Amino acid sequence: MKRMAFTLTLIKGPEVVGWTRNMGEVLDALDPLVDNILAVWDQFLYEFSAQFQDSQKEGRAWQKLENL
C-alpha cells in the first residue's frame, strides 16, 4: 500500500487528476491491517497499464512488419 500511495503522489497533471483521485479513494478504503498485501500493488500496476499504456503499439508493430 505504501508503494501505491507513493506512486500516486508522483503522478501529476490535469490529464490524470481524475484517475489519481479515484485510485486514492480506493487506497483510502483499504484497511492497512488486512489489505496490505502484494495483490494491491499488482492491481495498481494492472490498472495503470490498462489506463495509460499505448494500446496501439502491437498494431503499429504488425503494420511495420507488413510494410517490410
pLDDT score of 53 more than 90: no
pTM over 0.85: no
> How sure is the predictor about 65, in pLDDT bands with cuts at 50, 70 and 90?
very high
| Residue 45 to residue 60: CA distance in whole angstroms | 24
The answer to whether 23 and 4 have CB atoms below 8 angstroms apart is yes
Q: Cell numbers for 7, please give them.
A: 506512486
- Phi, psi angle pair for 31, to nearest 5°: -95, 115
- pLDDT reported for residue 20: 93
Name the domain count of the chain: 1
Dump pLDDT digits (tens) for 12-37: 999 899 999 999 999 999 888 888 89
Range of the structural domain that residue 53 is part of: 2-67
The answer to whether 19 and 56 have CB atoms below 8 angstroms apart is no
